Amino acid sequence: MFGFLKSDPGLRLRKKLRKKYDNLSTQAMLAQRKGDIKTYSLLTAEAETLWNEIQQLNIKQS
């Protein structure tokens, strides 16, 4: 009856992953600005992997 009051555990995980993704993207941008292309590419690859994981969680949730 009051199922709408229960929090979605998947939502909490998606928010945590999104925050980590945003942080990685910011770090990658700063590395690129400094001219550190190797670090930029590593951080971007990690962020892309994380983004794919977030997308898969969104698909499963729908």
pTM here is 0.83
Residue 36's pLDDT is: 97
Position 4 in a domain: no
Structural domain tally of the chain? Answer: 1
Is the residue at 3 inside a domain? Answer: no
pLDDT band at 10 (very low <50, low <70, confident <90, very high): confident
Whether 43 maps to a domain, the answer reads: yes
Q: What's the pLDDT at 11?
A: 84
Query: Is residue 48 included in any domain, yes or no?
Result: yes
Q: Which are the contacts of 25, defined by CB distance < 8 A and separation ≥ 6? A: 43, 44, 47
pLDDT(3) > 70: no
Asked if residue 20 is part of any domain, the answer here is yes
Show contacts of 46-50: CB within 8 Å, 24+ apart. 47/21, 50/17, 50/20, 50/21, 50/24
Question: Residue 42 domain-assigned?
Answer: yes
Model confidence pLDDT, tens digit, residues 11-62 = 889 999 999 999 999 999 999 999 999 999 999 999 999 999 999 998 887 6
Residue count of the chain: 62
